[in-house]
């Protein structure tokens, strides 16, 4: 039950094989133009009812073979012109009743030879992308697989574009809803 707050133009950089683990009902809040950069084979694990909130023009960049795992009823909310970029063979796994919400002109880019584990949304999660996203919002390129299984909802609304490029597979199974609305 601790609170980790990083505010007002700080930089949090974690580099060269460190591990950042936040467990058991903590809150990680990064606000007001900070940068969270995790580079060179680190692991970011957030488990057991934490909240990861990144608000007001921050950048979350995860590069070079890291793993981002969010487990057991967490919420990942990215709002107000942030960029979520996952580059070069990372894994993004979201499991067990989490919500991934990307709101108000964010970009979700997953590129360069990711595999099945890159975007896995399992067991009653919701992937919602809303309000003024563009063609960059959901781009999955170069032989990735997007699998959404077991009662999830994929909703893309208000003039977004869903582009899946270069031999990917889009699989939606077991009572999901795929809704793409408004141009």
Find the range with the poorest average confidence among 30-34, 48-52, 103-107: 103-107
Please state the rounded mean pLDDT for residues 103-113.
44
pLDDT band at 116 (very low <50, low <70, confident <90, very high): very low
Find the range with the poorest average confidence among 15-24, 103-112, 126-135: 126-135
Residue 151 Rama label (left phi>0; alpha psi -120 to 50; beta): left
pLDDT at 44: 56
Domain ranges (residues) in the chain: 3-181
Choose between 87 and 113: higher pLDDT.
Answer: 87
Q: Which helix (H) or strand (E) holds 178?
A: strand 177-181
E-state strands within 8-161: 11-15, 19-23, 27-31, 35-39, 43-47, 51-55, 59-63, 67-71, 75-79, 83-87, 91-95, 99-103, 107-111, 119-122, 126-130, 138-141, 145-149, 153-157
User: Quick one: tokens of 143?
Assistant: 């032989």
């Amino acid at each position: 039950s601790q609170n980790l707050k990083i505010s007002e133009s700080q930089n949090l950089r974690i580099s060269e094989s460190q591990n950042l683990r936040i467990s058991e009902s903590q809150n990680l809040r990064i606000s007001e133009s900070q940068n969270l950069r995790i580079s060179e084979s680190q692991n970011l694990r957030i488990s057991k009812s934490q909240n990861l909130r990144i608000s007001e023009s921050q950048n979350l960049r995860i590069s070079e073979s890291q793993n981002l795992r969010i487990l057991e009823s967490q919420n990942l909310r990215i709002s107000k012109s942030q960029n979520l970029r996952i580059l070069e063979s990372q894994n993004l796994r979201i499991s067990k009743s989490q919500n991934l919400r990307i709101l108000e002109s964010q970009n979700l880019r997953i590129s360069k030879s990711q595999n099945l584990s890159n975007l896995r949304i399992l067991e009653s999660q919701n992937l919602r992308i809303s309000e003024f996203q563009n063609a960059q919002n959901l781009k999955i390129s170069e032989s990735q697989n997007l699998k959404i299984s077991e009662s999830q909802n994929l909703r893309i609304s208000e003039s977004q574009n869903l582009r899946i490029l270069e031999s990917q597979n889009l699989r939606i199974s077991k009572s999901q809803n795929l809704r793409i609305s408004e141009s």
